[in-house]
Structure 1
Amino acid sequence: MTAVSGLGPEPRLRRGRAALALSFFAQGAVFALLVTRIPAIQDRYGISDALLPAFLAAVPVLAGVGSVATEHLVKRVRPGLVLRCVQPVVCLALVAVGAGSGLAQVAVALAVFGLTVGALDASMNMLGVSLQRAYGRSIMLGFHAAYSLGGIVGASLAWVGAHWELPLAVLYGPAAAVAVPAVLIAGRWYVDQERRPAGAAGAATATLSMRLLLPLCLVMAFAYIGDSTVSNWSAKYLQDVLGSSEQLATVPYNVYMVTTLLGRSVGDLGVRRFGPVAVVRAGAVVAAAGFAVVAVAPGAWPGMAGFTLLGLGLCVIVPQTFAAAGRQAYEAHGAARGPEASDAAVARLNIFNYVGFLVGSPLVGAVGDAWSYRGAMLIPMALVLVTLVYAPSFGGGRARYGGGHERPRTADVGRGSNGL
């Protein structure tokens, strides 16, 4: 049991927080470098338009497999060690995507990327949830803010590569050359929780109730349906429906990313002051309002205002969903088995990240083709509003932080992963 001083967290926890934030940042940059250069990847390997959706769908499907595998893997090894091993592989898989010589090679590289990115997402959020518990106050949104900042940096680098017509290997190689040493060094300071032997861990995860997690799983899926709608349809919607220029149509996603960063940067303060339930409710209402504005916008600029609201609203939901799942599982099993149950909950919840990503874009496209794209924007709006029904799932007797509600800063935190 490690007591955290009333003057602030001990240095080891602060180092662990900074190291994990760096990992979130690196992953945001790497993922943005991949997804923003999909057209260039398609051209390099001659992937047909008919085959491209299969390639794109395979990545989140395999990521879900990686998340499931991580749930079982962390029964035997700490999440910090998993993250230290898989994050460099994700970076190298990105290089392989850009440096391959044929369709088979890029297929293997994308498969490796998908499997390891699922393990990476799961283990990163496991560490984030456990560090938040150690701090005794909300810090989870800050990690996801680092991810958003990395996404902006990665997308900017991708723009530079496209502008200067750089080969993918020239773009991806230096990025990995910086990222791999950085995350390996950061991994020395990850902080894992103490955990019971593997047998006890198995007992904890075996009794983890999906009924308890189901509301949060639905919220996660709905949030990513909204997110994938913005990432996949904002440019087409602004240009084809709202009549913007091609250049202006590229702006909404960038605005969305910036407002996501801003919202997450201050979101922890809101959770500490008002509690997670109020923050999630507010985020759902703001996001729904954003979709409504986009659906009725008479022109491009009002449409961009709607996408701005979307970034501010959706940004708080996903980090708080991870935090709530880990907290509920921990409290349901007590301090003895709570860490293992928390990790299992995060891994299972993470699968619905990819479910939402897979469902969102085809759903909006199908409704848009069958009815109208304005009407299609009402689908993610309605799904995000369902979050209001499940908002109480984010609460609990010890869920408030700050303002007289902060939990005692005492945490069951063990040595860093480098001590394994």
Structure 2
Amino acid sequence: MTEVLRRGRASLAFSFLAQGVAFALLVTRIPAIQDRYGISDGLLPAFLAAVPILAGVGSVTTEQLVRRVRPSSVLRWSQPVVLLALLGVGAGDGVWELALSLAVFGLAVGALDATMNMLGVSLQQAYGRSIMLGFHAAYSLGGIAGASLAWAGAHWELSLFISYLPVVVVLLPAVFVGSRWYVDADASQDTGPGPSAERSTVERSTVGFRLLLPFCLVMTFAYIGDSTVSNWSAKYLQDVLGSSEQLATVPYNVYMVTTLIGRSLGDLGVRRFGAAAVVRGGALVGAAGFAVVAAAPGAWVGMLGFTLLGLGLCVIVPQTFAAAGRHAFEHHGPGASDAAIARLNVFNYVGFLVGSPLVGALGDAWSYRGAMLVPMVLVLVTLLYAKSFTAGPHRYGDGHERPRTADVGRSSNGL
């Protein structure tokens, strides 16, 4: 494997980690943000929903943008914008300043998530073996680090700006320097007008929704499950299973740690058993986790369920990006892979938006134990689409991987 690809892989992993830190710092300090700006409980959901909605807009816009600009260039400039917008959330005084910062954050996150996964899929094509889960493991590690930093800021009663400033000061130059080594699937796409650029545009525009439908559904169901854990685990443990307030904070941390473990080992599983088998196993373990949570007699059994959820759900999203990009590449060429990932990324935010209100409405109308069965069933539906994750002619992650190669990717610096 050439040095170019190794540096590209390391720099992209750091980008995933930095994004995990930034997103965790935002979502784990929502109560402090609400207090700082005096946002009412009735208005808060509108602010929270605006971020994933605008992120979806940013992802769709990125699909159009990467027809003319390399994904690495979009990533290089969108990540600093995310970090500066995070700092803006902590620095403002008026509600309009918060709204502006969150709008910028959302749009930039959509571009960032889409292009990070575009580069991850193209690097996996270049390596000829599964490495996608490793990038998402870096994101999980960043999420744990960001949540820990947020806890420290809350514990020491630091203002949002003081909490965010050191993180931004460290990460901003680091991600910008690291962006020098990003690797695109084809760095010659935007060297100027010509047949290559024209062909890329045609390839991107021919990706049909029918090809992506199984992956869009799987992505939505996975994020409904993930948002259920993120938004309801603490309340469920405390209100339904009778835990203490302190113990109720543990399940999400356990979920994040098991997500990190599962993703760190997941690439080995894909190489050994194949992507379809790993997705099936993840869906079954995730569904078992929801079943345990729904039937748990007490808090500790409930935490076992959330542990299973982390181990099961964590493999589905990275493999969905990888499989969608691979299928689009095989049917329509490399340009189509980027377009497919940008479109698929929108359903990340759809699942996030649907999951929390769905469980809340069912919990209020029926019971929270019963509500946990709905994401369980949706995760099980993934089994119907698992065959879509089977590798095509190149047999990636299907027990027949190509020898390690270095002839596909080129650096964004033209190397």
Asked if structure 2 preserves the Cα contact closer than 8 Å seen for 1:192 and 1:413, the reply is no
In 2, are the aligned partners of 1:262 and 1:312 still within 8 Å (CA)? yes
* Aligned residue number for residue 189 of structure 1: 181
Q: 2:5–2:409: 8 Å Cα contact kept in structure 1?
A: no
- Once the two structures are TM-superposed, the CA of residue 400 in structure 1 deviates from its matched residue by 4.1
Distance change (3 Å), C-alpha of 1:107 and 1:410: same
- In structure 2, the residue matched to 1:134 is 126
Query: Secondary structure in 2 aligned to 1:94?
Result: helix
**C-alpha distance in structure 2 between counterparts of 1:47 and 1:288, whole Å:** 36
Cα offset, 1:418, TM superposition: 3.5
Give 1:326's aligned residue: 325
Tell me by how many angstroms 1:406 deviates. 1.0
Cα distance in 2 between the residues matched to 1:399 and 1:49: 52
Q: Is the 8 A contact 2:292 2:301 kept in 1?
A: yes
Write the distance in 1 (CA, Å) between the matches of 2:264 and 2:387: 24
Deviation of residue 409 (structure 1)?
A: 3.9
Alpha-carbon distance in 2 for matches of 1:52, 1:265: 35
Change beyond 3 A, Cα 1:405–1:65: same
Amino acid at match of 2:227: S
Whether the 8 Å contact between 1:28 and 1:147 is mirrored in structure 2 is: yes
- The amino acid across from 2:329 in the alignment is Y
What is the aligned residue count? 408
Tell me which residue corresponds to 1:79. Answer: 71
CA distance in 2, matches of 1:327, 1:306: 33
- Counterpart of 2:363? 368
Q: Of the candidates 356, 373, 378, which is equivalent to residue 373 of structure 2?
A: 378
Match of 2:212 in 1: 213
Q: Would the aligned equivalents of 2:391 and 2:397 in 1 still touch at CA under 8 Å?
A: no
Q: Distance in 1 between matches of 2:288 and 2:392?
A: 30
Assess if the C-alpha contact under 8 Å between 1:140 and 1:323 holds in 2.
yes
Aligned counterpart, 2:286: 287
Q: Distance in 2 between matches of 1:404 and 1:216?
A: 22
Q: Which residue of 2 aligns with 1:49?
A: 41
Q: Tell me the distance in 1 between the aligned counterparts of 2:291 and 2:311.
A: 14
Identity %: 77
| Correspondent of 2:86 among 94, 104, 123 | 94
- Aligned ranges 1:53-68 → 2 under 5 Å: 53-68=45-60
Q: Would the alpha carbon gap of residues 284 and 403 (structure 1) be closer, same or farther in structure 2, given more than 3 Å must change?
A: closer
Q: Which whole-Å deviations, capped at 9, do the CAs of 1:54-80 have from their partners, x for residues lacking one?
A: 000000000000000110111111111
What is the Cα deviation at residue 118 of structure 1? 0.2
Match of 1:4 in 2: none
1:402 CA drift (Å): 6.4
Q: CA deviation at 1:199?
A: 2.2
Cα offset, 1:396, TM superposition: 3.1
- What residue in structure 2 maps to residue 308 of structure 1? 307
User: Matched residues in 2 for 1:403 and 1:307: separation?
Assistant: 29
Other structure's SS at 1:48 match: coil
Q: State the 1:358 CA deviation.
A: 0.2
Query: Which whole-Å CA distance do the structure 2 matches of 1:209 and 1:324 have between them?
Result: 15
Letter in 1 for 2:412: S
1:252–1:417 distance in 2 versus 1, CA, 3 Å: same
The 10-residue stretch of structure 1 (198-207 or 381-390) with the greater mean CA deviation from structure 2: 198-207
8 A contact 2:137–2:259 mirrored in 1: yes
- Change in Cα spacing, 1:373 to 1:404, as seen in structure 2 (3 Å) is closer
Distance in 2, matches of 1:213 and 1:402, equals 19
- In 2, Cα distance between the equivalents of 1:351 and 1:402? 25
Between the aligned partners of 1:394 and 1:403, the Cα distance in structure 2 is 9
Measured after TM superposition, the shift of residue 198 of structure 1 is 3.4
- Matched letter for residue 257 of structure 1: M
TM-score normalized by the length of structure 1: 0.95
8 A contact 1:187–1:418 mirrored in 2: no
Match status 1:344 vs 2:336: no
Q: Which residue of 2 aligns with 1:3?
A: none
Asked if the contact 1:81/1:418 (under 8 Å) is kept, the reply is no
Spell out, residue by residue over 1:319-372, the C-alpha distance to the aligned partner (whole angstroms, 9 max, x if none). 000000000000002xxxx22100000000000000000000000000000000
- 8 A contact 1:193–1:412 mirrored in 2: no
Q: 1:159: which partner in 2?
A: 151
The answer to whether the aligner puts 1:233 opposite 2:235 as a matched pair is no
CA deviation map 1:106-144 (0-9, x unaligned): 000000000000000000000000000000000000000
Query: 1:198-234: per-residue Cα shift (whole Å, max 9, x none)?
Result: 3222211221111010000000000000000000000
Structure 1 CA distance for aligned equivalents of residues 397 and 376 of structure 2? 31
Contact 2:126 2:409 in 1 (8 A): no
Other-structure match for 2:161: 169
Distance 2:255 2:275 in 1: 22
2:192 corresponding residue in structure 1:
none
User: Contact (CA 8 Å) 2:205, 2:339: kept in 1 or not?
Assistant: no
Structure 1 stretches lacking a partner, 5+ long = 1-8
Residue in structure 2 matched with residue 6 of structure 1 by the alignment: none
Q: Residues of 2 paired with 1:411 and 1:358: CA distance?
A: 39
Distance 1:43 1:369, change over 3 A: same
TM-score between both structures, scaled by the size of structure 2 = 0.96
